[in-house]
Amino acid sequence: MPTARQTLLDAALAALGAQPWSAVRMVDLAARARVSRQTLYNEFGSKEGLARALARREADRYLRGVEAVLAEPGQPARRLVAVAEWTVASAAARPVLRALLTGAWGEPLPVPRPVRAGARLAPVPEQRRADAGVPTPGELLGEARDRAAAALLARAAEGEGGGPAGALRSCELALRLALSLVVAEPVSPVVPEGQWAEPESWSPMTPMITSEIETILSVDTRSPRKIIP
C-alpha cells in the first residue's frame, strides 16, 4: 500500500498532466491525495521541497530501471541496446526525467532549486536526501554508467556474456547514444495529459537506429573518453 508521501508525489505528477507547475496549488494536491495540508507540509516542507522530491524520485526510478533492464537475459551488447531504448522511451514518457537527463527545465516543470542557505533540515529522512540536491545530468548518467558496468561485470563473473574488458566504456557509449536521441527529440511547450506513466514499450526507436546502436556496441570501441562531462 502506498505511503502518504508516495500518494502525494503521484498526485503532483497527475496535476502536471493538466497544468504547469506554477499553477499547481499545494491545497489542491492535499485534497487530491486525500490527506491534510499539514501532512503535505510535514513531508516536503514547501512547494520547492516537493519539486526536489519529485526530481529525486525520478532519478532513483531511472537508476533502478537501468539495473532492471540489465538483469534480463541476453548478450552484453543486446542488453545495453535495451538500456538505450528504455532510456529514450522513459525520457519521452516522463518529462521530469528528460529534464534531469538533459538539464533543460521548462516553465511547466517543477525545477528543483537548491535549499535556501540557513534553512533547517527536513524532519523526514527521504526529504533530507532530496534537499541535499538532485544529480546533474552528468552525475545521473555517470551513476547509471557505473551501475550498468557493475551489472555486466556481475553477469560476466557468473559465466554469462563477455569478459570485463571495456564494460565501463561500452556502458558510457550506450548512454551517450541514448542521450543524443533524447536531446534530438522535440519538446512540446505543454506537458500532455497522461505523459507520466511508465512507457508501454522499451523500443521507441526505429529498427534501423536500434540496429546501428547494437552494431556500434558490438565493436571494441577505443574511445579515450571515460567520464561523462
AA identity, residue 129: R
- pLDDT at position 48: 96
AA identity, residue 180: S
Nearest in space to 209 (alpha carbons), one of 172, 187, 165, 178: 178
Q: How far is CA 100 from the centre of its chain?
A: 7
Domain edges within the chain = 4-218
With a CB cutoff of 8 Å and minimum separation 6, the contacts of 19 are none
Nearest in space to 127 (alpha carbons), one of 19, 21, 223, 52: 52
Query: Which DSSP letter does residue 33 get?
Result: H
CA angle 44/47/48 to nearest 5° reads 90
- pLDDT at position 146: 92
- pLDDT at position 196: 42
pTM for the whole thing? 0.82
From the candidate CATH numbers 1.10.443.10, 3.40.50.1860, 1.10.357.10, 3.30.70.420, the one assigned to the domain spanning 4-218: 1.10.357.10
- pLDDT at position 209: 63
Q: What is the mean pLDDT of each run of 10 residues along the chain (229 residues)?
A: 91 90 95 94 96 97 93 84 89 92 91 90 95 94 92 71 65 89 69 46 58 64 44
Residue 104, Cβ neighbours under 10 Å: how many? 14
